[in-house]
Amino acid sequence: MLTHLAGGWVIDPANGRDETGDIWIRDGRVVEAPPGEARPHTTYDVSGKIVMAGGIDIHSHIAGANVNTARLLMPAYHHAAQQRPDVTPLANAGWTTFATGCLYARMGFTMVVEPAVAPQHALHAHLELADIPIIDKATLSILGNDDFLLGLLRAGESAAAVNDYVAWTLETTRALGIKVVNAGGAMAFKSNLRSFSLDDVVPYYGVTSRQIVKALQRAVRDLRVPHPLHVHCNNLGLAGNAETALATIAAAEDVPLHLAHLQFYGYGKEGERGFSSAAARLAAAVNHAEGLTIDVGQVMFGQTVTISSDVLRQFNARAQAHPKKWVLFEDDANGFGIVPYAYRADDFYNAIQWAVGLELFLLIDDPWRVFFTTDHPNGAPFTTYPEIFALLMDRDARAEWIAKLPPEAMALTTLPAISREYTLSEIATMTRAAPARLLGLADRGHLGVGAVADVAVYENQDDKAAMFRNAALVFKNGELVARNGEVTARRFGRALTVRPERDRSIDRRMRSYCQDRYGISPDLLAVPESAIGRPDPFELVPCAT
């Protein structure tokens, strides 16, 4: 079946295209324009419309035991799943797996990475992902607070042993990459430490956070996993924590590293309240660190619920819970904490957070290295993306907001002085081309011949939020799945995984370890294909050669 998108404004930065042109699709892939008089099965006249590859979200908490606990904690937020757009964002999201896929698709997103899966909850996460329609998905597995890894480091075992364990985890949990969350911090909290920074030592294990991050960073590189180690730094949310982020950036040296939701680390200690934006310094450091990528974790105002595997941080944030209830789940390794929170436009601290995110977007020069996230739902639900695109593309829209926010907060940021506006090509880079490259997906994030035909078509409008809220047409694997923001066909995508080589002796070792320490078989952690309940649920992404 041949599909023809005719005469659109094709914005495809990966292939250097920004021009009026056609896209041809056959059997789910982008193909060459057929020679002679081609007779497409379907032609869509998209003249005047913007044509991009499907969006890719690299960091959004959409599935798993932690997300599901948040759902169950907050029944009131989807009590009324009716259309109530601007008032209750989570209610608007209608917070289920099924709504998640549809809501992403209507914005033209076709792949989402769930970035925080505890290995023992991998099966649960993949079952939820399997019930998210339309989009492709992937997971990052969390290591760095687990007894086995810390035990390897304590015993001074070889880098090869760490590599084998990381490879074993990736295959067992069917992940696309590895994330570390407050490395050592959750373990230290179990020994009753209440703060934990880069050079603090985990009791008993005798290793620092820095050593854990570097060991995992090296392992991910050595295993040739495309996505570099995904790091949630220490000291999230605290005044003056820009120093922690800067120290982590310095520690990365030349090995690739990804820093997640950097906005939550963009804080200085200036001003009367000892809380200010340090985004300009962070952005300068990012601009200088070639191998570094970051995502923002933009804050938007409204009620949300924070979902984090940083149990130490979540415990310390319990007093700010709104409404006043929270869950802390601790297991071997990270566990998770769920703390509801309301970001308020009239709150000094929240206004600074909002500005820090935008400053990072606008002060980091290279759209290939800064990624578009709200750390859904931690900074804001992903349903706020259209409004954020508008803020990035329109300095007047920002000025309107800045005028409404506490002036004493805005005075402690550089945002009012920034005039940059993102171009559509930069938006396409940040949300399509760059994520695909970061995750090692050669056939996604672009519209070149051979690419998976994930395509988003937008009405070219001055109101950028309206434009990105309801894509005119969305194709997933060449199939039309949404039109004018309405889902028209429901299909199921796949979860993308990597499987680096390893020495299989680690498998025997894990078997006896699980038996000795937990009294269980590691088979209980397995994610068999047949358990997922959908045909062909996984797709293997090759490691770099």
Partner 1 sequence: MDRAWIDGRPVTLKVAVAEAAKLLSTSRFPVIAGLGADVAGTRAAIALAERLGAAVDHMHSEVLLRSLDVMREAGVMVTTVSEARARADYLLLVGPDATTACAELPQLLVGRAGPEAGGGLRHVGWICPGRGALGAFGEGLQPRTIGRDPTELPVLLAALRARIAGRPIGKTRTPKKVIDALAADLAAARFGVAIWSATDLGPLETEMLHGMVVDLNVKTRFSSLPIGSADNALGVLQVCGWMTGFPMRTAFGRSLPEHDPWRFDTARLVEAGEVDCAIWISAYGAAAPEWTAVVPVIALTATDAPMQRTGRVAIEVGRPGTDHDAVEYAEAVGALTWRAAARPSHAVSVAQVLAEIATALPTGA
Nearer to partner 1, 408 or 523 (CB): 523
Shorter beta-carbon distance to partner 1: residue 67 or 181: 67
Is residue 268 within 8 A of residue 243, CB to CB? The reply is no
The distance from CA 189 to its chain's CA centroid, rounded to whole angstroms, is 25
Cβ proximity to partner 1, 328 vs 397, nearer residue: 328
**Phi, psi at 147, each rounded to 5°:** -60, -35
What token pair was written down for 417?
Answer: 């002085």
CB of 127 to partner 1, least distance (A): 6
Give the shortest CB-538-to-partner 1 separation in angstroms.
Answer: 15
171-to-164, 166, 275, 374, 423 alpha-carbon distances in Å: 11, 9, 43, 28, 39
Closer of 126 and 261 to partner 1 (Cβ)? 126
b/e map 443-453, b = 16+ CB within 10 Å = ebbbbeeebbb
Q: Which residues bind partner 1 (CB under 8 A)?
A: 63, 65, 67-68, 71-75, 78-79, 81-82, 94-98, 120-121, 123-124, 127-128, 131, 147, 187, 189-192, 203-205, 315, 318, 321, 324-332, 335, 517-520, 523-528, 530-531, 533
Task: Note whether 49 and 9 are within 8 A (CB).
Answer: yes
Kindly state the smallest distance separating residue 111's Cβ from partner 1, in Å: 19
Cα distances from 230 to residues 253, 376, 401, 448, in angstroms, run 15, 16, 32, 28
In whole angstroms, the minimum distance from the beta carbon of 95 to partner 1 comes to: 5
CB of 62: closest distance to partner 1 in angstroms? 10
Q: Which residues face 31 on adjacent strands?
A: 24
Residue 332 to residues 145, 231, 450, 517, 518, Cα–Cα distance (Å): 8, 19, 43, 10, 10
Q: Running DSSP on this structure, what letter comes out for residue 34? A: P
The dihedral built from the CA positions of residue 234, 237, 239 and 241, taken in this order, carries a sign that is: positive
The alpha-helical segments, DSSP class H, found in 156-306 are 159-173, 185-190, 209-222, 242-251, 279-288
Instruction: Report the residue number, 150 or 391, with the smaller CB distance to partner 1.
Output: 150
Q: What residue type is assigned to position 293 of the chain?
A: T
Q: Residue 120 Cβ, how far from partner 1 at the closest point, in Å? A: 5
Task: Name the burial class of residue 98, with classes exposed (0-12), middle (13-18) and buried (19+) by CB atoms within 10 angstroms of its CB.
Answer: middle
Q: Which is nearer to partner 1, 128 or 295 (CB)?
A: 128
User: Between residues 348 and 518, which has the closer beta carbon with respect to partner 1?
Assistant: 518
Provide the minimum distance between the beta carbon of 130 and partner 1 in the complex, in angstroms, as a whole number.
Answer: 9
Q: How far is the CB of 202 from partner 1 (least distance, A)?
A: 9
CA distance 409 to 271: 9
Cβ count near 367 (within 10 Å):
21
Tell me whether residue 337 or residue 379 sits nearer to partner 1 (CB atom): 337
Kindly tell me which of 403 and 524 has the beta carbon lying closer to partner 1: 524
At 70, list the tokens. Answer: 């948040």
Q: How far is the CB of 325 from partner 1 (least distance, A)?
A: 4
Provide the minimum distance between the beta carbon of 497 and partner 1 in the complex, in angstroms, as a whole number: 17
The CB-of-298 to partner 1 minimum distance in angstroms stands at 25
Nearer to partner 1, 93 or 280 (CB): 93
Cβ proximity to partner 1: between 315 and 348 the closer is: 315
**Per-residue DSSP letter, 120:** G
Q: Got the DSSP string for 424-454?
A: HHHHHIIIIIHHHHHHT-TTSSS-STTSB--
The 3-state DSSP class for residue 400 equals helix
* Cβ proximity to partner 1, 348 vs 538, nearer residue: 538
Task: Judge whether 117 and 143 are in contact, CB under 8 Å.
Answer: no
Nearest distance from C-beta of residue 142 to partner 1, angstroms = 14
Residue 13: asked if its preceding bond is cis (omega within 30°), the reply is no
Element (H, E) at 127: helix 122-130
